[in-house]
Structure 1
Amino acid sequence: MLDYLATIYKISNNNASSGANKVTTTALAERMHVSTAAASSMLKRLEESRFVERSGADGIRLTEQGQLAALQLIRRHRLLEVFLLDVMKFTWDQVDVEAHRLEHAISVEFEDRMDKLCGYPTHCPHGDPIPAKDGKLPVEQLVSLVDMQIGQQGVLQRVGITDARVLRYLSNLKLTPGRTVTLIELAPFNGPVTLELTLDARTELNDSSAQASQILGSELAEQLFVMPL
């Protein structure tokens, strides 16, 4: 049940950033990898428990109670990702799947100790903010790479994809949160995006695998969010 709430929150949040705010049963079923009938059945239970509200015009909306439950699960998941990366030494492309396996099994005390052990992190390894215990999230003014101006510089803050293959690809390109990039070229008609990476003079300038210039497809670039400088 909680997985549905967290997924509704994420879809709604992503839609809002693109100018829409409607969550449909079909979209939810696709994200949960279930049939539309199964999603409808769960939504009925969630509505009866007052976690969601449904209307034809507005689609599916979380109630205040539903949003808090969703954010509490998201907090636990993202804390687990940090723990798995920093303490257990998993790679950033592995932590999402492992966190899903663990998030319903740990206690609140375990969560609190994990938070302290990791130094009270504010973001997960992919750059998503970690909600506070009361569900509050920081307001971040990030923009997608494709919305930057030519010549504009920014720091990569968030990767909106958890697919392990994509994350490994981005790692190979040295495109991980914290990297400073400059938009060099944005081809028209959803064409490729050319970036210049600022390399670390101490550790990367002599690394033959580190390239200062990288070219990405527009669909991938849309999912990379930066803090403009």
Structure 2
Amino acid sequence: MSASWNYVFKFIITGDAAVGKSSILIRLTDQRFLANPDPTLGVEFGSKLIEIPEEGKVIKLQCWDTAGTESFRSITRSYYRGAAGCLLVYDVTSRRSFTNARTWLADVREHADPHLSCILVGNKTDLCDEPAPAGRPREVPTEEAELWAKEEGLLFVEASAKSGQNVELAFEQAARDILDKIRRGVFDDDRSPGVKLSKPVPNSLSLEHKRSTTCCS
């Protein structure tokens, strides 16, 4: 059975190394948690179909998980271009990763589509609930992150790749924002590289997903 969808949206996932970007992608596409994923070398790719019921739309998300180390910055920047959506991820137990989110946001805004929909995602909330020694104290209050997101015009959610809490919601919120921009003519679904209009095949909906790795050889 072939899949059908209304739009294809290109997403990037960015932020410091070890904030859980790969785990978020695996949770989205495979519905599982990988405790110790290998460091991303360059970028990794995954796709997922999601439904936005109130819009009557099925969206195919094409997600590029980018490496969070400086040595791959020149490679990952090339994937920013043409993206319609972005997950800017930090670790709620790491003040440094939240502080560095400002640099990542500036980088995205310099190289990506100026109309890109960006959602700030505070990952690893599960660690705040676990007892020692597995658990870790929260270093970034929800209210502080929410305020900064509002000041920067970002969407915001806290999530856990381990439990799956709010992972798909983060992508859905950003997808809804992109759909709103399409309606308002901000994104042109014929010419914007991160937004592609598809022609669905009737009665062939299949919410499939896939994940692969793109190396930087």
| Both structures adopt the same fold (TM-score exceeding 0.5) | no
Radius of gyration: which is bigger?
A: 1
TM-score calculated relative to the size of structure 1: 0.26
Ranked by relative contact order (alpha carbons within 8 Å, sequence separation 6 or more), the top structure is 2
TM-score calculated relative to the size of structure 2: 0.27
